[in-house]
């Protein structure tokens, strides 16, 4: 899921200082699980803004805030309210914020969160980054552990000299990605995989902005 973290309230206040009335949009997917854009957070921000003398004209938790069309449909009943509101605050990820920007081309849209990574939820509200969406996956060559993400240097051919009793030189709090890969390959009897040299990555596969349409392909087939 997309992991987000709350911004400092004072930073948000500084950004929205030119406006007085707001409509708040949360998201029931990732942002709810991260505790940054669910029902409690919407209520909390509403209260905080009101304490600062601002008006909150409404709050709404979108089903999937990054889904542009669906969110647009969901927000239809609030059309008049939002029309009379000065600005919108989105409490989800950067993608959700930009969905709102597309839905409301004439309204200022602000965000209450920073978007940090694509994460696995390991326990409730605990997240780990395991994939950095590089566009050319090498998991099959590395025992299913991603060195592009798990190694701070993104090394593809084994540990650097900094492996420290199995930990990473960059942070003693994380295990060296390549020691993990080594142990995993050893365990599944595929240590020879580690002896193959992985060629430099084709970073052009991750060239931004990326877009994809499954639909277009099908349409072309016709």
Residues near ligand SF4, by CB under 6 A:
131-134, 137-139, 146, 148-149, 151-153, 155, 159-160, 162-163, 168-170, 176-178
Q: Which is nearer to ligand SF4, 60 or 178 (CB)?
A: 178
End-to-end CA distance of the chain: 34
- Beta bridge partner(s), residue 23: 58, 88
Q: Minimal distance in Å, beta carbon 178 to other proteins? A: 6
Question: Is there binding between residue 174 and other proteins (CB under 8 A)?
Answer: no
DSSP annotation string for 164-203 = BTTB-SS-TTSB-HHHHHHHHHHHTT-GGGGGSPPPPP-G
Judged on CB neighbours under 10 Å (0-12, 13-18, 19+), 188 is exposed
Out of 68, 158, 184, 206, name the contact with other proteins by CB under 8 A. 158
In angstroms, the CA 34 to CA 5 distance is 7
- Among positions 86, 114, 128, 169, the unique one binding other proteins when judged by CB under 8 A: 169
Q: Is residue 182 near other proteins by the rule CB under 8 A?
A: yes
**Binding partner at 200 among ligand SF4, other proteins, none, C-beta below 5 to 8 Å by kind:** other proteins
CB of 150 to ligand SF4, least distance (A): 7
- Dihedral over alpha carbons 6, 8, 12, 13 (to 10 degrees): 140
Residues near other proteins (CB under 8 A)? 152-166, 169-171, 178-179, 181-182, 191, 194-195, 197, 199-200, 203
């Amino acid at each position: 899921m997309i992991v987000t973290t709350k911004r400092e309230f004072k930073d948000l206040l500084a950004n929205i200082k030119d406006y007085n009335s707001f409509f708040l949009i949360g998201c029931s997917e990732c942002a709810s699980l991260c505790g940054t854009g669910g029902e409690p957070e919407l209520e909390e921000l509403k209260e905080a803004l009101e304490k600062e003398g601002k008006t909150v004209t409404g709050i709404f938790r979108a089903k999937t805030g990054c889904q542009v069309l669906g969110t647009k449909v969901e927000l239809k009943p609030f059309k008049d309210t939002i029309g009379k509101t000065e600005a919108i605050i989105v409490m989800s990820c950067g993608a959700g914020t930009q969905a709102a920007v597309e839905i409301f081309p004439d309204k200022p849209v602000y965000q209450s969160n920073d978007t940090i990574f694509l994460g696995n939820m390991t326990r409730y509200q605990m997240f780990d980054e395991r994939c950095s969406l590089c566009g050319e996956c090498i998991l099959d060559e590395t025992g299913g552990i991603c060195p592009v993400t798990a190694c701070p240097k993104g090394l593809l051919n084994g540990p650097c000299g900094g492996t420290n009793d199995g930990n990473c030189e960059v942070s003693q709090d994380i295990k060296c990605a390549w020691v993990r890969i080594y142990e995993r390959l050893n365990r599944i009897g595929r240590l020879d995989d580690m002896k193959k040299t992985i060629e430099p990555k084709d970073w052009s596969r991750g060239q931004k902005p990326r877009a994809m349409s499954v639909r277009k392909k099908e349409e072309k087939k016709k």
